[in-house]
Amino acid sequence: MSDPIRVGLVGASGLVGRTTMEAVVGREDFRLFAISRREIALPKGARMEVRLARPAQWGEVIAGLNLDILVCALGTTWRKAGEDEAKFREVDEKLVLAVAQAAKNAGVRQFVFVSAAGANPLSKTFYMRVKGEVEKALIKLHFTRLDIVRPGLLRGRREGDARLLEGIGIKLAPISDLFLTGHKRRFRSIAVETLVHAILRLAKEKAGGRFVHEHDGLMLAARRFEGK
């Protein structure tokens, strides 16, 4: 039996992070290490490690974990950032890139970045522009393997972060998705469990290179992980 894949996770308290922790419960092919600034509730049956540290110390933590892959699910919201562009960039740009640089310095082979459908450094939309700029910066770090995942609207239950418009969008997604065809398919909604299954499948890939995964690619990867 091969050794488990050593997976680091930042952004563990968010929707993608919590779902990732739940997805690896009972699995012996992954060993998960969450890096967080505060204590997080672990799912029942979880056998994983949580390293608590201030973000300024995350590089030291990452250096000592001997990770194969680091999954970055960091992200704030416009509301949480006080509708301040600089504060938004502190998390979604500067902290993400600091984590990525620390991973690169530590010799982490693979980096997975949870971006967003429509990310583009030339976008007129601030959120999409920042995501695109971060993607561009990550490419320059030259990881052995870089996976950029661009989900559309994430369907899942968030804790303590009610988003009215997003909630309405999730309820309407089964209908609105039908109208997203052709090049617009990338904006289709996706269940957070499906996204996480896709990420875990990508963690098993051996080929090096740079890969961007949008809706259809994520759905395929998830099916491969689920054995369908």
Does the structure show a pLDDT above 70 at 153?
A: yes
Confidence category of residue 131, pLDDT binned at 50, 70, 90: very high
In tens, the pLDDT along 167-178 reads 666 676 777 878
Q: In what order do the strands lie in the sheet with 110-114?
A: 49-52, 30-36, 5-10, 69-72, 110-114, 145-149, 209-213
Domain count, the chain: 1
> Is the pLDDT higher at 19 or at 2?
19
Residue 174 tokens read as 């089964």
Q: Provide the residue range defining the domain that includes 100.
A: 5-226
Q: Which CATH number does the domain housing residue 91 bear?
A: 3.40.50.720
> What is the pTM for the complete model shown?
0.92
Parallel, antiparallel or unpaired: strands 5-10 and 30-36: parallel
Phi and psi at 223, nearest 5°, equal -65, -35
Phi and psi at 208, nearest 5°, equal -90, 170
Confidence category of residue 144, pLDDT binned at 50, 70, 90: very high
Report the SS3 class of residue 55: helix
8 Å CB contact between 87 and 81: yes
Q: What's the Cα-to-Cα distance from 223 to each of 99, 103, 139, 152, rounded to whole Å?
A: 29, 28, 27, 18
Confidence category of residue 93, pLDDT binned at 50, 70, 90: very high
Residue 25 tokens read as 């419960």
Q: What's the Cα-to-Cα distance from 81 to each of 89, 136, 155, 205, rounded to whole Å?
A: 9, 23, 22, 35
Does the structure show a pLDDT above 60 at 161?
A: no
Q: What is the mean pLDDT of the chain?
A: 92
Does the structure show a pLDDT above 90 at 33?
A: yes
8 Å CB contact between 141 and 101: yes
